[in-house]
Structure 1
Amino acid sequence: MKLLREFALDKQPQHDHQPNPAALRDMLGANLRKLTARSESISALCREIGINRTQFNRYLAGESFPRPDLLHRICRHFGVDARILLEPLESVAAPVKGPMVHPAVADFLGRSAQPVREEDFPSGFYRFVRRSFLDSNRFVMGLVYVFRADGLCFLRGFEAREAMRSQGLPADPCTREFRGAVLPQEDGVSALVSRRGATTATYNFLSRVPTFENNYWVGYTSRPLRENVAGRRFERQVYEHLGRKTGKVLAAARASGLVSADSLMPYHRQLLEPDKPIS
């Protein structure tokens, strides 16, 4: 009988060890510290997510759990799921979805659908400048905001009011807004950018310029137009990473619009090479 009882006990379902709350808090804290390691400012990150800084510090320290709604915001911002409570970060990265990873083209375009690394193209504000497509004597200066959601990289900005009016288009913020998806390339990043509801998009390519602060990218932007349409189709452009430094961002915002070549910052002008045809 004793042997039968032991055999019966051996047949009982075996349960894996369940982590205690302290272990779960430690796992969450460790994962959040990895996710925020490249953030320039925890305060700015908390504002972006919409979460209290003091409370977020408690999550980082493994002292507390977020409410379900806050956990959802955190996961959505970093492109992970709720397994960050249970498993190391390396095993919970959200899978990349989209047409470029479809089996029909995955072997050809799939690598371009991989996430853009923060160190390759950091989040935050960028000042950009390029020659106007319609007026070769003027240049467009503006701001774009690069952000990440669901593990993917995006950008958002607004067309210059004067540029919109010159084309007979409304200049309200909704019409001026453009957004784009950023993809990794062998020597930089690319972005497909369009205004809301538009049936055309511009293709942009940017490659990092070696500088002391490593915060400049130069490349080009192109419009999908026929040759006989008025205006130029390709222009060289420069992106300068401003991060989230309020003073620089506000100064760049005030200077946005259509400007002459004489108004360009010297280094922007040097990178744009306005007197050199784009090839």
Structure 2
Amino acid sequence: MTDDFRENLRFLCAEKASTAQVCRDIGINQQQFSKYLSGRSRPSANNLRRMARYFGLEDRELLGSHTQLLSSYRARTATLRERRQDPLATVFPGDLARLRPFLGAYQVYFQAPVDPTGYVVNCVFLDERNGVVYSRLIEALADPALKRRRWTRCDGKVSYQNGRLFVVDSERKNENALSMHILTPPPRQKRQYLFGSMCFLASMPRRMPYASKVVWRKFETYRPVRDLFKSCGIYSAESLRLDPVVRKYLSGQMGEETGLL
């Protein structure tokens, strides 16, 4: 590992509150991290990736020349200075280190606006780009008039603040209507779920404000994404395909399994 890597790491850590805080945020042993700073040890590929992501860099940037990293850092700082003129610039992504574990694909469940006895199932993807976490929600509902599925896409940003996830997105059609999800991570034993509420403009029967409880359920990464798209639609509250934990939360039966009592 080159001296540039050591200098890059020292420079980036100097911009943080403390090296100990950096280690806690990344989840890396402080004694081992000190060896990286001194040049006495080289990080594994996994630790290198974790450190690079924490500082908002690519692996090659962290390993690259110190001169190039300084140039890139100054350019990024200038961009951040411009962003601070926006009152919401510091809101997204909020606590990025705590937000990263939630990256991935989810099934989204909420009460159907057009059918109080049914639940809509959408899918959403969270991914990180340039230090910001973005959301991409896909809705695919049957349209009897067209005899095919009606697809809707919403793109947005995700923030982690005060132990909660805030997702604000915009529908690509319908004059870019906005929606918001506020989600609370559950206890460790139910960590595949996010429980909360959402508000948006319902497409049917007319564009009216609507609010519902919502559950996000983590999708297993070993299953193909096409299975996630197939799961989209409207389900009866009694459907056997509906997750029992999801049904209990959306129906107002907030038992211990939701962690929201």
TM-score when normalising by structure 1: 0.57
Q: Which residue of structure 2 lines up, in the alignment, with residue 126 of structure 1?
A: 106
Matches within 5 A, 1:43-192: 60=45, 79-80=56-57, 83-84=61-62, 85-86=64-65, 97=80, 101-102=84-85, 105=87, 109=88, 111-120=90-99, 121-162=101-142, 165=143, 171=149, 176-192=152-168
Q: Which entry has the higher C-alpha Rg, 1 or 2?
A: 1
Q: Which residue of structure 2 lines up, in the alignment, with residue 46 of structure 1?
A: none
One of 205, 208, 211 as aligned partner of 1:234:
211
Q: Among the aligned pairs, what percent are the same residue?
A: 16
Q: Which residue of structure 2 lines up, in the alignment, with residue 209 of structure 1?
A: 186
The offset of 1:196, in angstroms, is 2.0
The offset of 1:178, in angstroms, is 1.9
Amino acid at match of 1:188: R
Structure 1: gaps (5+ residues): 1-20, 39-57, 63-74
Amino acid at match of 2:110: R
**CA RMSD of the aligned region, Å?**
4.4
3-state SS in 1 of match to 2:219? strand
Residue 261, structure 1, aligned to residue 237, structure 2 = yes
Amino acid at match of 1:269: R
TM-score when normalising by structure 2: 0.61
Change (3 A) 1:122 1:61: closer
* Equivalent-residue separation in structure 1 for 2:83 and 2:210 (angstroms): 26
What is the CA deviation profile of residues 169-220 of structure 1, one whole-angstrom value per residue up to 9, with x for unaligned ones? x956xx5222111112223011111222532111111111114152211111
Higher fraction of strand: 2
3-state SS in 2 of match to 1:244? coil
Change (3 A) 1:80 1:99: same
- Work out the number of aligned pairs and report it: 208
What is the CA deviation profile of residues 2-35 of structure 1, one whole-angstrom value per residue up to 9, with x for unaligned ones? xxxxxxxxxxxxxxxxxxx83346788999xx9x
Q: Confirm or deny: 8 A CA contact 2:96 2:131 kept in the other structure.
A: no
Q: Confirm or deny: 8 A CA contact 1:115 1:151 kept in the other structure.
A: no
Residue 271, structure 1, aligned to residue 254, structure 2 = no
The offset of 1:129, in angstroms, is 0.6
